[in-house]
Structure 1
Amino acid sequence: MKLQLERNTLLPLLQQLVSIVERKQTDALLANIRLEATAEQAVYLTSSDMEVELVAKLNGVVEKPGITTLPARKWLDICRNLPDQSTLEIFLEGNRAQLRCGRGRFALATLEADEFPEVELSSEVETVVLPQDELRGVIERSHFSMASQDVRYALNGLLIELTGRGIRAVATDGHRLALAEGVGEIEVTQPRQVIVPRKGVHELLRILGTDSTPLQLQLDSNHIRVEVGDVRITSKLIDGLYPDYYHVLPEKNEKHLTLAREALRQAVSRVAILSNEKSRGVRFQLRPHLLSIGSHNYEQEEAEEELEVDYSGEEVEIGFNANYLLDALGAMETEHVVISLNDSKSSGLFRPEGDERTRYVIMPMQI
């Protein structure tokens, strides 16, 4: 194998590929990136951790086709430190890859590519076409509510629903829930509901852009695959049943208020400084025309902020986790937020003003 690659084209792809590679590997091969150079002057780079696979295609000058694997992080570090606009030459000598750039030379140990894992989708694949900003949007507005290392394994991923009406993403850790829906209709043979694991979700966000370029989303019984430009990601799905999240959405909250989202976010951020470090609880005390936000901790320290609000109903006092509030408020883009409450023991519903497609449910807590 012998080929030449442009450093400025290779570097961003290596950075994406290395994000898949775990630092501690039981299989040394998974610490490598698979490199395949073809006679058609195409070069394919693949990284995998057995759960998520990332494949990137780039053009190069291929003098001699071949296939091998190179140490992922060492290759990235070398490429990162090469001069801008330089060309990297790669060729094999025995079980070593020689990398040359100008007067620099690097010899890297290689491993045979024969055993490198490759993901093949089954013959029964559902293919859906949708704008990439739609997919990115629903993931961005919901993924932060996923659980982490929960014994209820399904909660450690993001639920993605595909129906003729569009796409929906749902995440919950049992204490909060985020639901985000797309705006456009899509063509599906039948409604689908899949659970994408945490790592697959984060890698999707890395490659998805913010424009409306159509992309293909493929699903089989065990995988989700998305291709954006010259990068393709395939992730295993979580095998399990997701909770019936519709039962969590509050329907009887009758106390509604609208206020400036950024003012609320800043107030919660400041008050949370003196909240209990473990519970991170803040108190909402709502009365006509005024919302008081307070906190205290074991050192008897206290904080309180008051915001004028458009509200004329009954008084209510309720506690929330400050981090959950800040996550939800930070994911919104509207100027105002609408809050719906019932009593101190019922979940609060938060949504961007004028946006019925995005909802955040936060369970109350004792302050």
Structure 2
Amino acid sequence: MKLKIEQLNLSHLISLVAKAVSPRSPKPALSCVKFSAGEEGLILDATDQELWIRSSSKDVEIEYPGEVLVDARLIEEIVKNLPKSDVQIETEENKRVKITCEKSKFELFTQEVEEFPEFKPPNPQFEFDLSPILLRDMLEKVMFSASTDEIMKNLNGVYIEIEGKTIRLISADGFRMALTEKEIATPDIPEQTPYMGFLLSLRSVREISRIIEAGEEEDKMHVIYDGKKIGLELNRTFVITQRIEAEFPDYKKVLPEGFKTKITLPTNTLYQSIKRIGVVAKPGSETIRFDIADNIFQISSTSSDYGNSKEEMSIEKEGDDIAIAFNPRFLLEALSRVDDENVTLSFIGPLSPTQINPATLSDYEFIVMPIRM
């Protein structure tokens, strides 16, 4: 294999695929990026066998085709720091690859290409186009509330439902839950599409979001699902991820009903107030308290180490008075994702789930468990 490609182009391709590599893989081939040069241009592949990322470019001069397997971390660091000029890559008979850019020259060891898994995209049993910006925004609204504990497989990810022309994303960690839904504005999904629900790992959805971020606003994403794997194609990048074989909790049972207290107030006002009052909360056991009585809303925090803080504001209240406490970080993370000037908080009682949602929009809900006072 011998080819020439611009440094910026090559660095971009490597950065897209390298995140699929597992740093703890016992198989040397899975710590590598596979380079394939041929009629389709330059194709880069990386996988940990749960997540596969493929990206390619035709902006490359190929003198003769071939394949090579190079350590992902090493090649990413080398190419990232090369001069912004043409990079020449050439394989040699001694199982090495030579990389040249201006006066910089590297000769790297390679792995056996035959040890790298075969690329197997999902069977197109169900496929449609989706706005990547829509998916990115939906992921941003829910990823933060997924559990980061990889042992809790059924919560360490985002659950995706497709029902007719509605797509719904849900995540939870046992203390909170985020849910967002949108209508899919695409003509190739029939109204009678069967219900589908699948769980993707948090790592996979983070990488999907990152790849979307690197695209353009007018791009379209093609989605393929076969019951076990989901594939997403954006421009010349293809992401394949396995569904997690774990049962996501029945989120509908978590959605509270029969609220006894409701308040609506400006989203940013509440966000900034919680941020200020939470400064004195004790690190590691952060708690802020809401006291809602008549038309006064008081936010307070007390710490044996730092002192106390409180702030009051006038509100319009529906229902009973209530005193309730929360982890301020949970509230701030939810409020920062509310795309509305005003937010509604709905309470049942001091030990029951509280719902947070945009005052005038119905596409986002956040449920949070209070802290016992």
Q: Normalization by structure 1: what TM-score? A: 0.94
- What is the aligned partner in structure 2 of residue 192 from structure 1? 196
Higher mean alpha-carbon deviation, 75-84 vs 63-72, is at 75-84
Contact 2:82 2:104 in 1 (8 A): no
Which residue of the other structure, out of 285, 303, 307, is the alignment partner of 1:279?
A: 285
Give the drift of 1:16: 2.0
- What is the aligned partner in structure 2 of residue 74 from structure 1? 74
- What is the aligned partner in structure 2 of residue 302 from structure 1? 308
Higher mean alpha-carbon deviation, 41-50 vs 209-218, is at 209-218
For residues 233 and 334 of structure 2, the distance between their equivalents in structure 1, rounded to whole angstroms, comes to 29
Contact 1:121 1:220 in 2 (8 A): no
Contact 1:287 1:312 in 2 (8 A): no
Give the drift of 1:122: 5.1
Q: In the TM superposition, what are the counterparts of 1:349-360 in structure 2 within 5 Å?
A: 349-360=355-366
- What is the aligned partner in structure 2 of residue 47 from structure 1? 46
String of CA shifts for 1:227-277, please: whole Å, max 9, x gaps. 111111111111122211111111111322111111211111222222232
Report the AA paired with residue 89 of structure 2. Answer: I
For residues 219 and 131 of structure 2, the distance between their equivalents in structure 1, rounded to whole angstroms, comes to 5
Contact 1:122 1:220 in 2 (8 A): yes
Give the drift of 1:314: 2.7
- What is the aligned partner in structure 1 of residue 88 from structure 2? 89
- What is the aligned partner in structure 1 of residue 235 from structure 2? 229
Which residue of the other structure, out of 202, 207, 212, is the alignment partner of 2:211?
A: 207
- What is the aligned partner in structure 2 of residue 263 from structure 1? 269
Contact 2:124 2:224 in 1 (8 A): no
Which residue of the other structure, out of 315, 320, 324, is the alignment partner of 2:326?
A: 320
- What is the aligned partner in structure 2 of residue 113 from structure 1? 113
For residues 103 and 150 of structure 1, the distance between their equivalents in structure 2, rounded to whole angstroms, comes to 45
- What is the aligned partner in structure 2 of residue 125 from structure 1? 125
SS at match of 2:134: helix
Which residue of the other structure, out of 340, 343, 346, is the alignment partner of 2:352?
A: 346
Q: Is there any run of 5+ residues in structure 2 with no aligned partner, and where?
A: none
Report the AA paired with residue 68 of structure 1. Answer: V
Give the drift of 1:50: 1.8
Q: Does 1:218 align with 2:211?
A: no
For residues 240 and 41 of structure 1, the distance between their equivalents in structure 2, rounded to whole angstroms, comes to 37
Give the drift of 1:150: 6.0
For residues 5 and 303 of structure 1, the distance between their equivalents in structure 2, rounded to whole angstroms, comes to 59
SS at match of 2:209: helix
For residues 150 and 101 of structure 1, the distance between their equivalents in structure 2, rounded to whole angstroms, comes to 41
Contact 2:219 2:235 in 1 (8 A): no
- What is the aligned partner in structure 1 of residue 248 from structure 2? 242
Higher mean alpha-carbon deviation, 296-305 vs 43-52, is at 296-305
For residues 218 and 280 of structure 2, the distance between their equivalents in structure 1, rounded to whole angstroms, comes to 43
Contact 1:4 1:62 in 2 (8 A): yes
Contact 2:123 2:225 in 1 (8 A): no
- What is the aligned partner in structure 1 of residue 10 from structure 2? 10
Report the AA paired with residue 252 of structure 1. Answer: G
For residues 78 and 207 of structure 1, the distance between their equivalents in structure 2, rounded to whole angstroms, comes to 21
Report the AA paired with residue 3 of structure 1. Answer: L
Contact 1:275 1:297 in 2 (8 A): yes
Higher mean alpha-carbon deviation, 165-174 vs 23-32, is at 23-32
Give the drift of 1:151: 4.8
Report the AA paired with residue 349 of structure 1. Answer: Q
Report the AA paired with residue 338 of structure 1. Answer: T
Higher mean alpha-carbon deviation, 328-337 vs 227-236, is at 328-337
Contact 2:354 2:370 in 1 (8 A): yes
| C-alpha spacing 1:288/1:213, structure 2 compared with 1 (3 Å) | farther
String of CA shifts for 1:44-65, please: whole Å, max 9, x gaps. 0011122111100112111110
Give the drift of 1:71: 1.6
For residues 122 and 181 of structure 2, the distance between their equivalents in structure 1, rounded to whole angstroms, comes to 28
| C-alpha spacing 1:244/1:41, structure 2 compared with 1 (3 Å) | closer
Higher mean alpha-carbon deviation, 264-273 vs 166-175, is at 264-273
For residues 27 and 200 of structure 2, the distance between their equivalents in structure 1, rounded to whole angstroms, comes to 24
SS at match of 1:19: helix
SS at match of 1:154: coil
String of CA shifts for 1:68-119, please: whole Å, max 9, x gaps. 11121221222122222x1000001121100011122111111111111234
Give the drift of 1:324: 0.9
| C-alpha spacing 1:5/1:212, structure 2 compared with 1 (3 Å) | closer
Contact 2:282 2:306 in 1 (8 A): no
Q: In the TM superposition, what are the counterparts of 1:153-164 in structure 2 within 5 Å?
A: 153-164=153-164
Give the drift of 1:318: 0.6
Which residue of the other structure, out of 347, 352, 368, is the alignment partner of 1:362?
A: 368
Report the AA paired with residue 198 of structure 1. Answer: L
| C-alpha spacing 1:97/1:327, structure 2 compared with 1 (3 Å) | same
Give the drift of 1:42: 0.6
SS at match of 2:316: coil
Give the drift of 1:172: 0.6
| C-alpha spacing 1:11/1:238, structure 2 compared with 1 (3 Å) | same
Q: Is there any run of 5+ residues in structure 1 with no aligned partner, and where?
A: none
SS at match of 2:284: coil
For residues 246 and 108 of structure 1, the distance between their equivalents in structure 2, rounded to whole angstroms, comes to 54
